[in-house]
Amino acid sequence: MKKKILKYGIYAVLIIGLILCIALLFPQVRQGFIELTERMIHRKIQFYQIWYKMLLSYAMGGIFLIVILGYCLLTVAGKTLVREVKNEIRDSLAAIEWRFFTKPVLLMSGIYLFGIISIIRANFYYLDDGWRSVVGERGWYQWSRYVTEISSIFIHADSRLTDISPLPQILAIFILAVSSVLLVYVLNDKKITTTGLLASIPVGLSPYILECLSFKFDSPYMALSVLASIVPFLFLARKKAFIFCSVVFLLVMCMTYQAASGIYLLIMLVLGFNDWNGKRKANRGVLLFFGRAILSFCAMLVIFKLFLLKPINSYAASEMFPLTQMFSGISTNLQNYMRMINSDFGFIWKGIIGIVFCFFLVKSVYSSARNKMISFIAAVVLLCFLFILSYGVYLVLEHPLFSTRAMYGFGVMLGIVSISVVSNFNKIAKISALALSWCFLVFALSYGNALADQIRYANFRATILLQDLSALYPDKNDSEIAIQLKNTIGFTPVVKNIGMHNPVVYRLVTPMIEEDNSFASLYLLSYFKYAPISAANFTKPILISEPVDFTTLNLPIVKKTYYHTIRSDGKRILVELNEGIK
């Protein structure tokens, strides 16, 4: 009797869901749904056209999901498949000695916490942090980060965000610690060594992922994207479980932070190369492994693209190159990627990385069970592919993001190569890999202190500027006075000192007060209570209430100091910032 009730209950749920999804395929129903939502929340929905299109994708995705669930829950073949996958997942998890993970996770958590302690101490509202802390809005769904959107409600214990740092950053380093441990476990034949863990430090403290850890609100979800890319390889020994978990966890990765999209492919290539190079698998077995992994990755991309991806038309876009422009587009993106890394890293870092890569080639040849020359060529090709794929799917986008937070796949690649080098090889190779980890750990501490010094200076500049503005306009009316900024306050001597050998710091640290920066507007107006701000008016530069460029108006000078010059005609104010000594 219970089975019949359950069976008919499943039928009812699937049929109702199917009817609702089919209804949403009709334009009139989607429009009515949006209008009903607007009446319920008592405000207009922003990005109406985008939501209108997204409802169609959600409807198609719902139909696809209902068909899959119906097959798995109501057919004999589907039930058998579900049972097999469930058993394989259970067997894979049972085969892991979880108690051996405790000490390594604690060790890496301690190292990562030490590495970002200066970032936490700086108490720096990094980019979006300022907006989220003042307005309390999430908005991750606009970037198709649905896991982030939902998870943030639980972490913040409210649908409205508040600053609960350093909890999110502590969660982030714990997740990255688990990621490092699992990565060593997967790459080192299920063995966890201290040198392997120390070599994995670039995974969590590379200069690029430091930007992710600088965010007070986003950091744990960015870290989760790294972990989600590694977890599927715990099920590698069982084919169905591996494919299922790969698709599921890769979808989690895409719904947290898509910059991690290349990590899964990096691990796949290294594992396949190790099996081929050591003749642990026949060529056919390696190719089958690549096939299953690539099939899982492509299936995830199709599902995400068709049913979950929200169109983006901002500083980064989600549109891929047309097929006719794919090769040239990828080539251009790759050149820009290489140029960025080359300009970001100093001579010492590049030298150590080059040495680590050389040891990787030497070890690949030394430990090879195949022809040495072929092994060398294969290792060189592997390094090239690792570098290319470290940028993930951003390579095929027309307008990819080149911010440091979008390039942390390169840091994970360095961690993967370093772990491979220190595994059963000579001491000099281990020293080179550990030297790279030490460099990144030291830089992380320097970077955190640079953030603290920059915010100290920005507070000083904001204070004297607002004092001058309040003295000039003691009875200002927010609707009558428009303010624009010109130039920037620049970087402090501390930041410039770090940038002499590590130029990436200039892309990590933001001056806080500069032209064409809406976060600077937020910082000046809201934090110092000079003018109110809301989620509605944050979508445009807040200091600029007129489309006219004030620099073209030849406004008269009303105040000139060492740090800034204020020009105004009484209603329009142009603040020309001076950097001071350079």
One DSSP character per residue, 16-36 reads HHHHHHHHTTSHHHHHHHHHH
Tally of CA atoms within 13 A in the half-sphere of 582 that contains its CB: 5
Given this model, what pLDDT does residue 514 score? 84
Q: Which helix (H) or strand (E) holds 272?
A: helix 263-277
Report whether 208 contacts 392 (CB < 8 A). Answer: no
Percent of the chain with pLDDT over 90: 54
Residue 546, SS3? coil
Mean per-residue pLDDT, 556-576: 89
Q: How many CB atoms lie within 10 A of CB 370?
A: 13
Which CA distances in Å does 476 have to 259, 278, 524, 574?
44, 75, 16, 15
DSSP 321: P
Cis peptide leading into residue 547 (ω within 30°)? no
Q: How much is the pLDDT for 537?
A: 39
State the Cα–Cα distance between residues 30 and 506, nearest whole angstrom. Answer: 46
Q: DSSP of 164-219, one letter per residue? A: -TTHHHHHHHHHHHHHHHHHHHHHTTT---HHHHHHTHHHHHSHHHHHHHH-TTTH
- Enter the tokens of residue 43: 């405000």
Give the best-scoring range by mean pLDDT among 12-21, 284-293, 523-532: 284-293
pLDDT recorded at residue 203: 96
Burial 466-485 (b: 16+ CB within 10 A, else e): eebbeeebeeeeeeebbbbb
Residue 185, token pair as written in the block:
């476990």
Q: What is the pLDDT of residues 132-174, one digit of tens each?
A: 888 888 888 778 888 999 999 999 998 889 999 899 999 999 9
Burial status of residue 529 (CB atoms within 10 A of its CB: 0-12, 13-18, 19 or more): exposed
Of 495, 407, 408, nearest in space to 456 by CA:
495
**What beta strand segments (E) does 267-379 contain?**
none
Question: What number is the average pLDDT over the span 392-400?
Answer: 89
- Say yes or no to pLDDT of 82 above 90: no
Q: What pLDDT sits at residue 375?
A: 93
Please check whether residue 505 is in contact with residue 345, taking contact to mean a CB–CB distance below 8 angstroms.
no
Spatial CB neighbours of 572, under 8 Å, sequence gap ≥ 6: 481, 482, 484, 546, 548, 550, 553, 555
Q: Which residues contact 353 (CB under 8 A, 6 or more apart)?
A: 345, 414, 436
The tokens describing 363, both together, are: 């070890």
Query: 512 in the Ramachandran plot: left (φ > 0), alpha (ψ -120 to 50) or beta?
Result: left
Interval 1-26 mean pLDDT: 76
Burial of 449 (0-12, 13-18, 19+ CB in 10 A): middle
**Tokens found for residue 255:** 């719904």
Residue 538: predicted pLDDT: 38
Tokens of 460: 């000083």
The pLDDT tens digits for 398-449 are 888 899 999 999 999 999 999 999 987 888 889 999 999 999 999 999 999 9
Main-chain dihedrals φ then ψ at residue 566, nearest 5 degrees:
-105, 120
Q: Taking every pair of C-alpha atoms in the chain, what is the biggest distance, in angstroms?
A: 87
Summarised one tens digit per residue, pLDDT across range 241-279 is 999 999 999 999 999 998 999 999 999 999 999 999 988
Question: Does pTM surpass 0.85?
Answer: yes
pLDDT at 582 over 70: no
537-558 exposure pattern, b = at least 16 Cβ within 10 A, e = fewer? ebeebbbbbeeeebeeeebeee
Dihedral over Cα of 444, 445, 447, 448: its sign: positive
Whether residue 210 contacts residue 119, with contact meaning beta carbons closer than 8 Å, is answered with: yes
SS3 566: strand
Alpha-helical regions (H) of 24-101: 27-41, 48-74, 76-94
Mean pLDDT of the chain: 87
Q: What residues pair up with 578 in beta bridges, in sequence order? A: none
Helix runs in 473-537, H state only: 493-499, 505-508, 518-522
- Which H or E element spans position 484? strand 482-486
The 10 Å CB-count burial string (b at 16+, else e) for 194-204 is ebbbbbbbbbb
**Domain assignments of the chain as residue spans, ordered by start:** 2-74, 98-425, 451-577
Q: At what angle do helices 263-277 and 283-303 cross, to 10 degrees?
A: 170
The answer to whether residues 248 and 240 touch, using CB atoms and an 8 Å cutoff, is no
Rg of the chain (C-alpha set): 26
Q: What is the pLDDT of residues 523-557, one digit of tens each?
A: 777 777 776 654 433 333 344 445 677 888 888 99
Closest CA to 179 of 243, 221, 231: 231
Q: What span, in angstroms and rounded, lies between the C-alpha atoms of 330 and 336?
A: 10
Q: How many residues does the chain have?
A: 582
- Residue 138 has a CB neighbour count (10 Å cut-off) of 19
> For 196-228, what is each residue's pLDDT tens digit?
999 999 999 999 999 999 999 999 999 999 999
At 299-356, the pLDDT tens digits run 998 888 888 877 666 656 667 888 888 899 999 999 999 999 999 999 999 999 999 9
Q: In what order do the strands lie in the sheet with 482-486?
A: 482-486, 572-577, 564-568, 557-560
Neighbours of 124 (CB within 10 A): 24
